[in-house]
Amino acid sequence: MMQQRCKSLALMVAILMAAAVPLRAGTTEPRLALMRATAVRSTAGRITLTLEGNFSLGDTVQLALPLDVLVTQGEVAARFDLAGDPPTGLNQPAPDAGVISIGERAITLVLPAQFMAGEATAQIVATFDGKPLASNRLRFTL
């Protein structure tokens, strides 16, 4: 009887080991991907830009990662800090430009007055372990 139990136990262990799938650690890097940009020009000439995509906001908030949106058009560039820190340095948005809203799938910005009708590019950049982690560069028309 004892011998039968040992054989059953050995068989059960062998089956479990054969069926086991190796476990892998999950990534902690946020996924950043831009899919669509919609620009609307007001009657006053200001451009509101809505960027849609996958921003992994849960990961960036949980890991307290700095997250910026970069918008460029030729020589004109603006960096929007999504943490709300004031911009410093060259090529920063004018005081009347900034982030309007941040959601799970959309970020809405008001661009500086230097942006005109034409081609532009947007990119999201997080800083992870001291290194920039960037989304794709999304081309769109203002």
pLDDT for the residue numbered 71: 95
Three-point CA angle 78, 79, 83, nearest 5°: 150
User: 3-state DSSP call for residue 141?
Assistant: strand
Domain that holds residue 110: 33-141
Structural domain contains residue 27:
no
Q: Provide the number of structural domains found in the chain.
A: 1
Total-model pTM: 0.69
Asked whether residue 24 is assigned to any structural domain, the reply reads: no
Q: How many CB atoms lie within 10 A of CB 9?
A: 10
Domain of residue 128, CATH code: 2.60.40
pLDDT in tens, 59-88: 555 556 678 899 999 999 999 987 665 555
pLDDT tens digits along 40-65: 999 888 899 999 988 766 655 555 66
